[in-house]
Chain A
Amino acid sequence: MGYREKHSVETHNNHAKPIKSAVDKFALLPEFLKVRGLVKQHIDSFNYFINNDIKKIMKTNDRIVCPQDPSLYLRYTKISIGKPLEYVEHATEELNPQLCRLSDRTYASPIKVDIEYTRPNQTNKEYKKDLVIGRMPIMLRSSKCVLSGKDEAELAKLGECPLDPGGYFIIKGNEKVILIQEQLSKNRIIIDTDSKGRVNASVTSSTHETKTKTVFFMDKDKIYLQLNQFSKPISIMIIMKAMGMENDQEVVQMLGRDPKYGFLLFPSMQECRSEKIITQKQALEYLQGKLANLSSLRFEINKDDRVKKILINVFLAHVPQAKDGNFRPKCIYTAVMLRRMMDAVLNVETFDDKDYVGNKRLELSGQLVALLFEDLFKTMNSQVASRMEKAYDKASRSTPLDFIHYMRSDTITNGLERAISTGNWDLKRFKMNRKGVSQVLSRLAFIATLGYMTRVSPQFEKTRKVSGPRALQPSQWGMLCPCDTPEGEGCGLTKNLALMTHVTTDEEEGPLIKWCRKLGVVDVEDLSGEELHAPDSFLVMLNGLILGKHTKPQKFANAMRKLRRKSVIGEFVSIFVHERQRCVYVASDGGRVCRPLVIADKGVSRIKEYHMKELRDGVRSFDDFVREGLIEYLDVNEENNALIALYEHEIHKDGHDEDNADGQKSFITHIEIEPFTILGVVAGLIPYPHHNQSPRNTYQCAMGKQAMGNIAYNQLSRADTLLYLLVYPQRPLLTTRTIELVGYDKLGAGQNATVAVMSYSGYDIEDAIVMNKSSLDRGFGRCIALKKQIVVKETYSNETSDRIVRPQNEPRKQALDADGIAAPGQIVRRHDILVNKQSPRNKRDRITNPMALKDCDYAPSNVSYKGPEGETTVVDRVMLYSDKDNKMCVKFIIRHVRRPEIGDKFSSRHGQKGVIGTIVQQEDFPFSERGICPDLIMNPHGFPSRMTIGKMIELLGSKAAVLSGRFHYGSAFGEPSGHADKVEDISRTLVEHGFNYSGKDLLYSGISGKPLQAYIFMGPIYYQKLKHMVLDKMHARASGPRMTLTRQPTEGRARDGGLRLGEMERDCLIAYGASMLIYERLMLSSDPYQVQVCSQCGLLGYYNHKLKTSWCSMCKSGDNMSSLKLPYACKLLFQELQSMNVVPRLKLTEY
């Protein structure tokens, strides 16, 4: 930072500047993350659902009426969500997340409603408060979560890690994330071409009531409407007529005066005329004939009404009716759509890009849970109604009709729980059938967890072979990370949010409309068709609806922006002037991605040094910056109206002649807060990513999630099915700002290894690395694998239950305590018994006294440890709890400490993975003149083709860090702003400490003792140990288990399977002519079987052991039997064929 000041002073000594130096805005970033958190999008969205959306849902479905008697009704008056708690046997128990994780419960709160309802023959209404209608899973760290607003000490008391971001749910003890879903914008006109190459305008309307899709397309110069409710495409003029626009001239006027539009519409008009449709009535009749027969029988009665209903409710459903019920707003909307479509026909450049981020909306957990809840709430209400209906019909009622009796809370509870735990959003009501919406939160590494929270899952299925949506969009800048995407099928489709991205939630439109009107937007209803597209005015659209027009769009937009900066309207409202479409788009809908930027007036930042000082002193928060109009959020569309500079001093830099510089300067409207925020959390770990070849950063993004390290502060009290922890994790010597912001320096996943880049021993080819044995002895790369095993003490239907008894002195029970459960700290091996459990022999029949069963009534049902053979593991923890069915459970956490061995996978932070090729004694390792001996040796051939210069700079930087005792930085694009140390400075530090500037040292060979013939590039590099370890993968078998059906060896490591000699290997053997080997592999080592074949009939006989003869049961004789060997699978095939009435006969000849 000191550097930066110097720089700008140097270059602009004689510039009359308002401020002396560019302000260091980095401090804003930690403040932003403090206020917003890393997963604020999720939490915001869930909070919005819980506080606002749920009320709206209730309000639209607030009445249940008894079908027979309309005076019997129930009305919801209030809905709220309480604190997370559970009802256990008529008592309430407060829940906290850690409790739920450990005891496999759901972290959920009761949904409480206030209701008023009537009872038959009673005039006064009944009121009931706080009736529980179900349990809502609560997102961690949301406003209803017990963790919200807690400080570090309080979190520790609750057993929670302060660095855990929250934003996920706990369902039956499993942590589930609802992934961000990417979707095409709702309620917006998208001009595109369809598969047949036809120009196509479509709108997906989405309101609280319905979701429909309206498509216009142009076929053979004529324009048609396509709607699911009509069996055939309908000419657009007929629709216009059906909506009351009987006059063709009016339609043309609405499209605009330019004759080119009229020409394009002419064929459609002709078609309409040839169908002899002139009046509205004729059009409606014509449409009736075109109705699709989708379940139409039910509404047969009033066909005429149906067409109108479709026009009202399905056709452009989001456009509301005019107050007097006419179709004028829809006509105008249609005209605008047609006009845009015709523009596209005339000018190819006006097509919309579906992959453009501004045309996308991100659906967050709040919206998804809202959909789910709405569906379940409606289901519950209809269930109540139908139960009421049934009860009403029942003649004899012992109890009076009461709505309360028919309210069940399990519909909503179970529905929510099931959907979130399986990830299947199957909502028939909204025609939604999505799988994999929620996923288990990966706790493999801290970074993996964060990565999950920012993941955006794609709208398309991954198998599609398309390149467009996979490509990096320029509009992703600053919103979606350019590096973090998986390899393979999901490449480019699955994305991740960038560091400062915010996703908006819905905002009220009412005040916005009011302000628009005040600022001179002329209402559409007051305009004639012709005025609509007057050349001097722009249309104003609000969330896809036509609000009106404005003659001075720029002025209007500026005024609106001023209002936003003054916090009169919401901070996330976007105002975007689209010059080409002659529209001003105002958007306040949810799911838009946006990011904060510093506002600049003619290139001069509004943030001054005193603002930052106030921030540092803690008097000013990030929100103050937004409130005072120093920073604002821009969404992707509005970014198009902005000119954003990277740095303030950058503005002056290029302009060598003053005039030009000033000219350029004056157009700049915004300044980036920090350029490295275009990367996401996961890519932020990479030091100097801007020096690497781009795919390497992508690879590291995938691998960082597999690195072992610390998971959370509460990692040792967690009970995950599989957990890998590093014994001595370190924070990287070469850090980045992102690392510090997300807390990777506190929960590191790697170690700073001293690396020598040289070839050694030949066991380092193909990315293998050579390890120093002494380093391993001293704890490098050592890790703990924790596995979970659960034992349930079952209870049976006859009220008997399992029992756990004190062990006698028996083999395999040495780990057991006196209580019959393995004790913590005991060493267990495969098949050792963990719980000395016995089950009753009689589990079904009723037993008079289940407590008085004798010892002989129990049979042992011990539970043994199911680990791999040969591993010496230790019982780490034993936890006893009762599950939701009140059965006693025992959770064992079994620990295995591993030291690295040949074949274990390691990786640096630059997508450079490798396995240990050999482990070498320290005395054989090279050593430097200062006695430094590397921890690992990496082959230099890893560099030229990978071009990971960042790794080399990391080595230099880490070396300088070690020597100077100061952590060095390598943030992306950080050199100009001082967030990355420059190689020059690093080299200077190295030289100051007596090292070569390039990091290359003289090394002596540990074997010969003589100096090596080259200087060796040596220094520390942060190495990650990846979860792939040989111990989990190695597998060999001589003979072993076989499948019962085919008697062939089993498959797979888990079943101790054989190694298959596949068809290609077989081909090789055939080609080589190794017939005996083929015979041995395919027959003798697989499934040989001795059969008796009758040479008479060719069928299989059998060998009678009593008579010691073979017998053919077909010929009823044993005369012509011969014995031969064939694969059991072959014999099986013959028998299966026989069972299908196909007779395979073997023809035998003497050989």
Chain B
Amino acid sequence: MKKLENYSTAWGAVELPVIVLEHTGDGYRPVYENSAAAALCDASGGCLMDCIPEEIRTRLLGDGPCPAEGELPFFCLLAGGAYSLVPFSWDGCRVCMLHEVTAYYNENQRILNEAIMANKAKTSFLSEMSHDIRTPMGAIIGMTDIALMQEDIPARVKECLNKIKVASGHMMSLLNEVLDMSRIESGRILLQEEDVDLADLLHEVLTVIRPQADAGGLHFSLKLEQMAEERLRGDSVRLRQIFINLLSNAVKFTPEGGGIDMILSVVPTGEPNRVMMNLRVRDNGIGMSQEFLQRIFMAFEREEKSTTSKIQGTGLGMAITKNLVELMGGTITVESQLHEGSCFTVEIPFTASPDLEERHRQALAGKRLLLFDDNPGQTQLICSMLDRLGIAADVAADAESAVELLNDMSFSDEEYFALLTVEKVKGVEMLLFLPQVRQRMGADFPILLLSENDWSQMEYVYTRAGVDAFIPLPLFRTRLSAGLYAFTDEAKRAVQEAGNGQRWNFRGKRILLAEDNEINREIAIELLGMANLQIETVENGREAVDRFAETSPDYYDMILMDIQMPVMNGLEATRAIRALDCADAQDIPIVAMTANAFVEDVRNSLDAGMNAHIAKPLDMNQVYSTLDFFLGRGGR
């Protein structure tokens, strides 16, 4: 009672609403409110404390220390007005004093709303502007590429074009980031749920990053730790974006001679079928100040210092990355020391995709293959993966050894299941070596290529050289087993049963074959027909030109042209076709077929306007891969 008198004496006459909270052992409870507070309470329709937002109330009634000055004041809306609330300690109690700030609050709210609207308008403007600029930028990039492909460009012009290419590519990436951020801010990013093959994903990422690192004179290393699962359910496009943003950032902020380590693992979480992907990107670059570390993931934030002033960017990359990681339910953290480097760690939970490895293992166990690779570290890794699949491997580090092993095997009762080769072995011209292996071992012998490079850029030449399939590096167990399994009898049967036994399929494509030799025409019709091509034939170059001229544009998808023909030879016919005033006269692929082997023959074909040159006698694999190249992918 005495206390109440004390409270009343102290706070009763105060015009501002005051609430006194007493300590109860495990927190505070309201014990007194002055008349101003009571009036406010009545106006609010209940106990004043109950009307204070829960977050503030919990802080006030909790056993913790009185909220510090820096956090204050609290704001709350009571009885239609806005009040500031300041708690402070008094005589062993906690006193909360309220002050009406409705006018101030409303003014601030208006300013805030205006700011939000302005921000939305900015985002919308940036988004639309980015989109509008992207379209012509695409044209600039495309036309620059076309210009660069022209022959005999003066050196100065070529230099300018290369600079335009670099600058426009950079601008495009900035625009893409702005667009992404606006999508994130407007909640328009929806994650896909699909199978993500980490092998493919990593291969794609490295195809982009390695050249950047090389160009910057950086040492790039990749370490794969435990890979409990290699196929996950998630959004591969956005995951790739996270990887590339982090790595590009490291490349950007690491000076020449520095190093970047990428460490990836996928570990079990304990829950069935659930794994945690852990990605670390560590560099020994310029690092960040502790102050900037607090703002690294905010949009448009870039640390301003002399070393970064020349590095271009929107400052959106990390904000986008953080948002994407969080959208996937993961976390991103960063550690950094100025001048020493940074380390970003991303952890994202995933559900694992169904694994086919066991089935592959059963079909592959007991087989022996020839591995052609001169990198001892990589060879060891591949051999251990093969060992897990039950496959024995003989390793050759040079062409002579590879051939000796093939020879030794041919003298024994065993045989190799396949040749697994890397793209480059020191001292070996692979595009000469592989065709010889193909000839020696026959059409059914699988030759698989391991490479870090983009397969779509290499496919044409390597399939011509006899390669059947491609496995991306860095190597993943699942890709290796799937790649090899495809050539087992079991897999071949399965494909046949599924009705897709045909390796090449060009259904819907029509070609014009100009060939004067009747038997050759018959053979070509038979063999090309097997790949479902529609073939029309003519017997000389003149007929080829006339036939092409009288058909509607895009009637033919390609022309196969013999060189030596009566009436008009293939070179003249090609020149005549290219000179025609038809819509597709310039674009239709024309491929020479000839055994003319002189240096100038190949040059003459290309000079006449042909697109490629197939040597006779025809190797159908080479023919099909050439067709595939010109008739579009997906024909297989």
Instruction: Say whether A associates with B.
Output: no
Task: List the interface of chain B (C-beta within 8 A of A).
Answer: none
Task: List the interface of chain A (C-beta within 8 A of B).
Answer: none
